[in-house]
């Protein structure tokens, strides 16, 4: 199993990521990692635990399974988040000397799922703020962009917008009226104001996005499972920002962190990668 990305990140990738707020890095994981994590996904689906969400409605022939914090209880997910090429990739794209693990999240769509992932930004869901938070969406299966891919609105992380959070299962606890609703960008595809970016992936490719980049996804019209794990890492300016209507973080960081503290806390937001020669 590889320890470093198989395809190194280039300085052009760093610039591209900062401009578009989304980039696909090919061949981050070898086949052994993908096989191991697909077994872990299988285990997760049959034993989902207390934080699982299912977003399909009656009559949907598929299954849209989401889960969070798998790294806290499953050794394979733990290794994936802390001892794989991912944290180094995060640090390279954030151009920083150290990253902590924020959390991991599974997005599994079985064949025939009609439930979409609504257009959204990630930051409104989180008790966090800052630009230096990155989500690494790892394709564990091949992903055909038309059938089940995620799409991003390039540059939307720079709009200064903070859209209301909406979970795929429409959990009312998230929908704070303080913020405007995120438009349905699938209806704005022909509008020259917006540039959409998306990628078909092989297993082991990673799509990386900024926490304010607007994104959404179709269901799964392919005959195969679409399994992806998003692992989120925090860098330099990421801060604890407890607000109403945000997700609950496992491990009760609210009892240990003050608003404005860095997103670093043993056992909760552990340091996942540090440059060896870095002094801080
Ligand atoms: O895989 C999906 O459908 C959504 C992924 C997503 O929203 C994320 O990684 O933040």
Q: Which residues does 149 contact at the CB level (< 8 Å), separation at least 6?
A: 143, 198, 199, 200, 201, 217, 218
Q: 104 — alpha (psi -120 to 50), left (phi > 0) or beta? A: beta
Q: What confidence category does residue 147 fall into, taking pLDDT thresholds of 50, 70 and 90?
A: very high
Query: Which residue has its alpha carbon closest to ligand 1 atom 1?
Result: 107
The pLDDT tens digits of the residues spanning 87-117 come to 999 999 999 999 999 999 999 999 999 999 9
Q: What residue ranges line ligand 1, CB within 6 angstroms?
A: 107, 117, 122, 135, 137, 150, 215, 217, 228, 230
The preferred substitution site among 64, 135, 206 for testing ligand 1, maximizing ligand atoms within 8 Å of CB, is 135
The preferred substitution site among 70, 150, 165 for testing ligand 1, maximizing ligand atoms within 8 Å of CB, is 150
Q: Higher confidence at residue 140 or residue 277?
A: 140
pLDDT at residue 174 is higher than 90? no
pLDDT at residue 280 is higher than 80? no
pLDDT of 178 reads 83
Total-model pTM: 0.96
Mean local confidence (pLDDT), 24-43:
98
- Are 165 and 177 spatial neighbours (Cβ–Cβ below 8 Å)? no
pLDDT of 195 reads 98
Q: What confidence category does residue 277 fall into, taking pLDDT thresholds of 50, 70 and 90?
A: low
Between the CA of 75 and the centroid of ligand 1 the distance, in Å, is: 23
- Are 149 and 143 spatial neighbours (Cβ–Cβ below 8 Å)? yes
Between the CA of 173 and the centroid of ligand 1 the distance, in Å, is: 19
Q: What confidence category does residue 244 fall into, taking pLDDT thresholds of 50, 70 and 90?
A: confident
Mean local confidence (pLDDT), 263-267:
98
Mean local confidence (pLDDT), 156-179:
86
Query: Which residue has its alpha carbon closest to ligand 1 atom 9?
Result: 230
Distance in angstroms (rounded) separating the CA atoms of residues 63 and 110: 5
- Are 93 and 10 spatial neighbours (Cβ–Cβ below 8 Å)? no
Tokens 């790294």 label which residue? 71
The pLDDT tens digits of the residues spanning 46-88 come to 999 999 999 888 889 999 999 999 999 999 999 999 999 999 9
Q: What's the mean per-residue pLDDT of the chain? A: 95
pLDDT at residue 1 is higher than 70? yes
Homologous superfamily of 11-263: q2cbj1_9rhob like domain (2.60.120.620)
Between the CA of 221 and the centroid of ligand 1 the distance, in Å, is: 16
């Amino acid at each position: 199993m590889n320890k470093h990305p198989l395809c190194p990140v280039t300085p052009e990738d760093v610039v591209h990521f900062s401009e578009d707020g989304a980039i696909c890095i090919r061949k981050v994981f070898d086949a052994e990692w993908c096989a191991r994590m697909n077994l872990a996904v299988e285990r997760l689906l049959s034993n989902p635990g207390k934080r699982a969400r299912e977003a399909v409605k009656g009559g949907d022939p598929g299954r849209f399974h989401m889960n969070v914090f798998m790294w806290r209880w499953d050794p394979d997910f733990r290794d994936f988040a802390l001892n794989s090429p991912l944290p180094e990739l995060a640090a390279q794209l954030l151009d920083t000397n150290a990253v902590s693990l924020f959390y991991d999240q599974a997005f599994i769509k079985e064949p025939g799922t009609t439930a979409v992932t609504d257009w959204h930004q990630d930051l409104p869901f989180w008790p966090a703020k800052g630009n230096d938070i990155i989500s690494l969406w790892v394709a564990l299966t091949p992903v055909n962009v038309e059938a089940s891919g995620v799409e991003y609105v390039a540059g939307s992380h720079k709009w200064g917008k903070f859209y209301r959070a909406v979970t795929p299962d429409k959990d009312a606890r998230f929908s704070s009226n303080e913020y405007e609703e995120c438009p349905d960008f699938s209806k704005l595809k022909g509008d020259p104001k917006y540039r959409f970016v998306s990628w078909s992936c092989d297993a082991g490719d990673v799509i990386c996005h900024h926490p304010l980049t607007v994104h959404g996804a179709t269901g799964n019209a392919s005959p195969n499972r679409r399994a992806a794990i998003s692992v989120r890492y925090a860098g330099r300016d990421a801060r604890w920002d407890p607000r109403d209507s945000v997700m609950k973080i496992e491990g009760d960081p609210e009892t240990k962190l003050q608003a404005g503290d860095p997103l670093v806390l043993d056992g909760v937001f552990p340091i996942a990668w540090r440059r060896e020669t870095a002094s801080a």
